[in-house]
Amino acid sequence: MAKYLLLKHYRGAPAPVNDVPMDRWTPEEVTAHLAYMRDFATKLEGTGEFVDGQALAPEGTFVRYDGEGRPPVTDGPFAETKDLVAGWMVIDVDSYERAVELAGELSAAPGAGGRPIHEWLELRPFLTEPPTVTE
């Protein structure tokens, strides 16, 4: 009954416990990791808590308006970008506690050595419509 965004970062989150870049894993470890993510999404579809999920490419472009009749200015990607989102999943759950529980579970995806990565995931509630009964 409340939607949350789970954000996975390429960069910008605190360092995970099992901090080995993905390209240093064995192919089997990568496969196991991807399977875990897929199974997690499938499980949430089953519990009726899944809304959406997508992965993002690490390269992005900044765009801004540059005045009437001129094409938008593009720039980047910037080396100094502190925060780089890798992908998201939107869940619809009954409570904040449940959202935290699921984020914790997703953070346990296996990494190097088949051990959980313990990566930091960002959990953000959606702004909603105001409730009908307020006072």
Partner 1 sequence: MDDDLVRCLVPGVLAVLVRRGADFAAAEDAVQDALVEALRTWDRQVPRDPRGWLVTVAWRRYLDATRAETARRRREGLVDAEPEPGPVAPGDDSLRLHFLCAHPSLSPSAAVALTLRAVGGLTTRQIAQAYLVPEATVAQRISRAKRALAGVRLTEPGDVGTVLRVLYLVFNEGYSGDVDLAAEAIRLTRQLAAAVDHPEVAGLLALMLLHHARRAARTDGSGALVPLAEQDRSRWDTALITEGVAVLQGALARDRLGEFQAQAAVAALHADAPTAAETDWVQVVEWYDELLRLTGSPVVRLNRAVAVGEADGGQAGLAALTGVDPGLPRYAAVSAHLHERAGRTAAAAQLYAEAAHRATSAAERDHLVKQAARLNSRAPAPPRPGT
> Which of 14, 48, 67, 71 forms a contact with partner 1 (CB under 8 A)?
48
CB 2 within 8 Å of CB 82? no
Q: What angle do CA 51, 57, 58 make, to 5 degrees?
A: 120
Which C-beta is closer to partner 1: that of 61 or that of 128?
128
Report CA torsion sign: 122, 48, 38, 106: positive
- Write out the binding residues for partner 1, residues 5-34 only, by CB under 8 A: none
135 lines the binding site for partner 1 (CB under 8 A): yes
**For tokens 């009749």, what's the residue?**
69
Q: Which of 10, 20, 41, 92 is the binder for partner 1 (CB under 8 A)?
A: 92
| Between 80 and 129, CB nearer to partner 1 | 129
Please report whether residue 131 would count as binding partner 1 according to CB under 8 A: yes
**Are the CB atoms for 123 and 100 separated by under 8 Å?**
yes
2 or 32: whose CB is closer to partner 1?
A: 2
Quick count: other Cβ atoms within 10 Å of Cβ 74?
10
Binding site for partner 1 (CB under 8 A): 1, 3, 45-52, 92-94, 125, 127-135
